[in-house]
Chains A and B, each alone.
Chain A
């Protein structure tokens, strides 16, 4: 599976909604003339777990720059669309993938400054997260 890339070049730093097989399938179902597909089938389609990998490097904060993209898994979990970075165990969520990725961007910015402020009193586990985060995110020079 080839990962979609989201970078600062993306308008407004917002991800472009990917056309997934889910979208296609749902569109097909909507266009079907009677007899309509069984309701259970539609429910199954809605609940299908579509997993998408995204290289994520948008403009998340005017003070920061993502210098190395994060690999993000976009997936529906427990009925909620989530965008998850396994490397640093961080996530965003929302009602669709665009919302989840936008939420993730804001979360990354908050996480960066929170960990930076507490850098001298982080547990080894969170120190590891901070070091990995700092590999991807750098402050913008004035």
Chain B
């Protein structure tokens, strides 16, 4: 994974970010921190499979986010389906 693809993940998934020793990124939903990941500063290639695991995405889903086929709402639904976000009560 390239750094610009990580930046796309940040934007598409509306990850919150903070620069520290690393660039830390995390997904919050309804006030809860649900997933987190990070990358080093600089332009080194990133281990996509490990970032994907931290964001709870499979390969297809990760490709979908990077290619803009998946949006924020799709990510929320993915996390709901995995039981990481509670379903809204009706």
Contact = CB atoms under 8 A, between A and B. Distances in A.
B32 to A, nearest CB: 5
Interface of B: 1, 20-22, 24, 26, 31-36, 38, 40, 44-50, 53-54, 84-85
Interface in A94-142: 95, 103, 106-107, 109-111, 114, 118, 121-126
Chain A, interface size category, equals 20 to 34
Contact of B50 (A84, A95, A123): A84
A11 interface: no
15 contacts: A77-B47, A77-B49, A77-B50, A78-B47, A80-B45, A82-B47, A95-B44, A103-B40, A106-B21, A107-B38, A110-B21, A114-B36, A123-B34, A125-B35, A126-B36
A123 to B, nearest CB: 5
Interface majority SS on A: helix, strand, loop or mixed? mixed
Contacts of B49: 77-78
A70 interface: no
Nearest to B82: A125
Contacts of B38: 107, 110
B24 to A, nearest CB: 6
A114 B24 contact: yes
A56 interface: no
A121 B85 CA distance: 13
Contacts of B24: 110, 114
Nearest to B27: A123
A79 interface: yes
Contact of A78 (B22, B31, B48, B53): B48
A123 B49 CA distance: 22
